[in-house]
A and B are shown apart, each in its own frame.
Chain A
């Protein structure tokens, strides 16, 4: 049985990757790609190149805002946990099978706010940190089981010493010819075609 040959180039080309050897070269190239109006493109580098994200026009991430709410949740959770378990005798059996308890220690007030601060702090930090890492993975789409950039053996040098600028075929401006010519005009070491 034979497969029908691809109708458009987009079926077999996932994108083009242009190879650069220095951070300066890829930063210059990234500025030109951004200026040319491409949208589905990326730079792959062995380390975060300073200023490359702004050159690419990457918008600041919303990660800190998510983390703020993660932290607030932690504080609330810690207040609830301590007040419920130490200060109030509330029966939550209807919802969850637990009952609060009133600890009376040395005649101290049942809601002893200063004593609850350390745990509030720790739980805030814990939830903020978990939110930071969790949201960073989620926003980055990690773990990622398969990606065309990881398929090409040449591009394995991304994690070593090479800088690749990739324009994806799904970009509205992408055409087999013009994109290749455009990438060549940026003066890369080589150009690689990526398969899906």
Chain B
């Protein structure tokens, strides 16, 4: 099998989005060998001081995270009345934000598990921080149901723990399925992430120049020594985790959508919800990956690893999933009309032209219209356009959850029980606070953990193939030409 001649690399650096199967563009640019890959990625962690922007961002996001904690404290000592939740909109921003954050997480698992099963090698440059993003997003998501229950000190009632009342949770309720789905999702994502981190933590351990680093990385790398017998089981375990995480990630947002779909409310009671929610989750998650990856590769000089090809591939997925989401919106309308059900028809006409029409059209323009620009290659390969579209998609997907939850609750069957939802300052600041928490965790991750999967990147380089560069089996063995 012949690999691409190296002289071509220079030309392909200009346009490495070339995807001709006979001559794929390299996944790692800039004439790297294994040592320089280690060097360049570890430089992010080993630089004596991170860029100034890192400090500024950390101060801002840590302050916002602190504000979040104070607001949660304020909520607990005062009660949920500090939020805009009312009757009939019992599920206000907290559940909107819960669904939003859980959805963000899905792209990380898609990249790490589903693309792994499909042998999409380009995932190696983005999977590490996409997985980190998953975990931090699920942490933000998990906060909301906990504080939304009202009496926070009784949050343990969510779990099947024996208590003094001899009562158990009700397992026919999708809300309880959610408890299991989200906690399983968090645990499995964390395991997956940690297993992937071990060889790279060992790399940082072996390069550590201070005692604290050596102890910390040494502790978490568990004495990894790159043994091929270990790698053999490790790779099998990684494959199994990917195979387990793939149905899991599809199940999590399906279960989240069951919270809505199993109710009787017009606009919620539809069978399209599970696939529609999963497509939306992947869509929003990829947008968040883009929002984080574009500045990160710029600031830490990772352009040789997160190349234009990676970004373009992600843009293609955003285009695909965005179009699927748009198709789901259209199907919902069609079925509402086709069903002949009065309340269902009203719910959808009301979404588009009622009191929340502004939210609906923000959603449609951000989610359906804005990604369509990615039909053009020039847009797919323009940093600014993709960054702006990714922000739009984040906004649009938040509004999608807002539209689903609030419009259906605000105006359902009886006009006598209609209402309007207005968030309070606590709602808004709590949501901003979760971004602070998310970014704080993410910035700490970039500084202290290997931001790209070093071992995996080495394994997809042409040099990693035992048959590369005219190296044959046994007798044909020759010297390496660098």
Contact = CB atoms under 8 A, between A and B. Distances in A.
A118 B171 CA distance: 10
A45 interface: yes
Contacts of A23: 463-466, 468
A58 B229 CA distance: 7
Given A24-B471, A61-B233, A132-B237, A147 B225 contact: yes
Given A142-B222, A160-B35, A49 B471 contact: no
B33 interface: yes
Interface string B214-245: 00000000111111111111111100110011
Contact of A132 (B169, B176, B241, B456): B241
A126 B172 contact: no
A43 B240 CA distance: 23
Contacts, number: 223
Given A28-B474, A63-B236, A46 B187 contact: no
A45 B222 contact: no
Contacts of B170: 86, 103, 105
Nearest to B169: A85
A47 B233 contact: no
Interface in A140-168: 140, 142-147, 149-150, 156-161
Interface string A122-143: 1101101110110111011011
B191 A123 contact: no
A22 B463 contact: yes
B333 interface: no
B188 A156 contact: no
Contacts of A143: 222-223
B291 interface: no
A27 B474 CA distance: 9
Given A23-B465, A61-B233, A118 B471 contact: no
A47 B251 CA distance: 32
A190 interface: no
Interface string B157-194: 00010100011111110101100110010011001101
Contact of B228 (A49, A103, A129): A49
A101 B162 CA distance: 11
Of B232, B235, B247, the most chain A CB neighbours within 10 A belong to B232
Contacts of A140: 227, 229-230, 233-234
A48 B34 contact: no
Interface stretch (A3-11, A108-116, A173-181): A108-116
Chain A interface: which size bin? Answer: 35 or more
A183 interface: no
B411 to A, nearest CB: 26
B258 to A, nearest CB: 7
B441 interface: no
A142 B464 contact: no
Contacts of A172: none
A126 B466 contact: no
B77 interface: no
Given A132-B240, A158-B225, A45 B177 contact: no
A192 interface: no
B222 to A, nearest CB: 4
Contacts of A133: 191, 194-195, 237, 241
Given A50-B465, A159-B203, A144 B247 contact: no
Interface in A51-105: 51-53, 56, 58, 60-61, 63-64, 67, 81-82, 85-86, 97-101, 103, 105
A50 B206 CA distance: 24
Interface in B52-80: none
Of B194, B466, B473, the most chain A CB neighbours within 10 A belong to B466
B410 interface: no
Of B171, B181, B229, the most chain A CB neighbours within 10 A belong to B171
B480 to A, nearest CB: 5
B161 to A, nearest CB: 10
Interface of A: 21-25, 27-28, 30-31, 42-53, 56, 58, 60-61, 63-64, 67, 81-82, 85-86, 97-101, 103, 105, 108, 112, 115-116, 118-119, 121-123, 125-126, 128-130, 132-133, 135-137, 139-140, 142-147, 149-150, 156-161
27 contacts: A28-B474, A28-B477, A42-B228, A45-B228, A48-B234, A49-B466, A50-B465, A64-B240, A85-B160, A86-B172, A101-B166, A101-B168, A118-B174, A118-B251, A119-B177, A122-B177, A125-B244, A128-B240, A129-B187, A133-B194, A140-B230, A140-B234, A143-B223, A144-B222, A145-B223, A158-B225, A161-B33
Given A44-B226, A49-B228, 7 more contacts: A23-B466, A42-B229, A101-B166, A118-B255, A125-B184, A132-B237, A143-B222
CB-CB nearest 7 A-B residue pairs: A144-B223, A161-B34, A85-B168, A24-B471, A136-B237, A143-B222, A156-B206
Interface of B: 33-35, 38, 160, 162, 166-172, 174, 176-177, 180-181, 184, 187-188, 191-192, 194-195, 199, 202-203, 205-207, 222-237, 240-241, 244-245, 247-248, 251, 255, 258, 455-456, 458-459, 463-469, 471, 473-474, 477, 480
